[in-house]
Amino acid sequence: MLLPFIILLLSILFYVFAPERYSYEYCMVMFVIYVISSIWTIKKVTNDGNYFSFHTLFLISFLFVNFIYPTLIFPVDPEYFTVFKRSFNYDIITKCTALALMGSSSYQFGVFMSYRPHKNVKSVAFTDHRRLDGLVLYLVPFLIVLFLLVLLFGGVGMLKGQFGSTDSIPSGLLILFQVTIGTAVMLSIYNHRDLSSVFRLFRRINPVLLIILFLFVLLFVYVGDRGPVIQIALISIGFYGLFIKPIKLGSLLAIVVAGMLVLTFLSYARSREGSAEGGLISRGASNMEVGSFVDLGMDLIINNRNLYVGYEYANSNGFAYGKGMFHYVFAPFPFVPSLLTKFLFDSTPGDLTSARIITDDAEASYGLGSNMIADLYMQFGVLGVISFMFLLGFVVQRLLHKIDKNSVMSVIAYGFLIAYSIYVTRTSVLDPIRFICWGIAIYIIFAEFSRKPKQGKA
């Protein structure tokens, strides 16, 4: 408890005394502090041998989003990635890196404020197999209907593998499908945590669910839409490590490297010309260029510019005091965010986000995305960064303890946080709220459908 608090205080001092110019030495010291503190945190909270956790994935992603560019790329080639050719103030790189260190230290302090050594979930008494099996059985027909609707809206372009064809699918429908299949996978793995291998798990999971899952992954990879596939992959691997067999450090590193290779390949394979260019595999093989290891983390690293731009924008235009995060709180309720933002701010939810502001500020023709730390700073300044990052670490660790006590709702909430563990560092900390709330709602509704009538007394 003392060490995370000391590191937090140290990071605050680093921010306060950060020079108003780029300093390689200053950034490198903060980089080393971040890496050492993150490794220590992961080792300390991983007492069940499973390293494939939200903490690990989040801290790795955070490293690429906020620390690789100022230490390993900027000193060599400031414009290595195309997005950095867009103008931004080099002098604030050091200050912003210190802000990111302060945010990560707050997150780790929150983890330890909530930390209690927890037992292996396999040892937790659980006798509700039949009820959850029945719940998944009810979910499968609903999934089939949703999948057919997704195919209907995706149309011929989706079947031809055209990148962008999923844009025609209503966002609410696609999210409902993702949430439903994610919840079904979570409950299926959680329900069979008495097993010890992936092969036994496959034999016990509903076969129709496995077929839908396979087709879902195949189709979305085919069209180059990586987001939904990444989320279901993180849920599946994360829950396998948590409930079936711990994923050791060596296996984690192999999965991370393999995942980065696959995602980079898909990034180069995406094309709106579809199969006319030879299909997914040939497009990726012909377009992919990897000159160094940092190329594999491109999709994360390019969001570092958003930290610099967002920080300077907030200092010049003032803080938004929650306007840009307002709609996330009400996102679980259809149409409510749009109605409220129109009524209160005479705007749309999208126009208030940090991602839109950063994109418009650069006059870019495509979305530049955001950055978790920039988003918090643009809303509430330094206090927002410290408090929200602390709460994130605290909540995630508390959910892990709730899972030990057979809380299915905590299982679902943690599952969707794992699904966002890599992506959330480049968006808003509140972005997973809709997935979590819809997942819990689906569980509650279908639990009622699958509940057997109580037997009368003899």
Q: 107-116, 274-283, 313-322, 356-365: which range is least confident on average?
A: 274-283
What is the average pLDDT across 172-199? 90
Q: CA torsion sign, 148 to 153 to 157 to 161?
A: negative
Q: Which two tokens stand for residue 322?
A: 């929650």
pLDDT on residue 416: 97
Mean pLDDT in residue range 407-434: 95
Q: Measure the CA–CA gap between 74 and 302, rounded to whole angstroms.
A: 12
pLDDT at 282: 66
Handedness of CA 437, 189, 140, 455 (dihedral sign): negative
Q: How far apart are CA 267 and CA 274, in angstroms?
A: 14
C-beta of residue 436 within 8 angstroms of C-beta of residue 417: yes
| pLDDT computed for residue 10 by the predictor | 96
Are 126 and 193 a contacting pair, CB within 8 Å? yes
d(CA 108, CA 110): 5
Average pLDDT across the chain, whole number: 88
What pLDDT was estimated at residue 458? 37
275 pLDDT higher than 60: no
- How far apart, in whole angstroms, are the C-alpha atoms of residue 230 and residue 101? 26
Q: What is the band of 272 on the pLDDT scale with cuts at 50, 70, 90?
A: very low
pLDDT digits (tens, 9 = 90+) for 105-148: 999 999 999 988 766 555 554 546 667 888 888 999 999 999 99
pLDDT band at residue 74, thresholds of 50, 70 and 90? very high
Domain boundaries, the chain: 2-118+303-448, 128-247
Indicate the pLDDT class of residue 355, thresholds 50, 70 and 90: very high
Element (DSSP H or E) covering residue 203:
helix 198-204
Is residue 50 a contact partner of residue 242, using CB atoms and an 8 Å limit? yes
Interval 222-229 mean pLDDT = 84
pLDDT at residue 201 greater than cutoff 50: yes
Question: How many CB atoms neighbour CB 189 within 10 A?
Answer: 23
Cα 40 to Cα 53: distance, rounded to the nearest angstrom:
15
pLDDT at 182 > cutoff 80: yes
Cα separation of 245 and 120, whole Å? 10
369: three-class secondary structure by DSSP: coil
Write the pLDDT tens digit of every residue in 17-72: 999 999 999 999 999 999 999 999 999 999 788 999 999 999 999 999 999 999 99
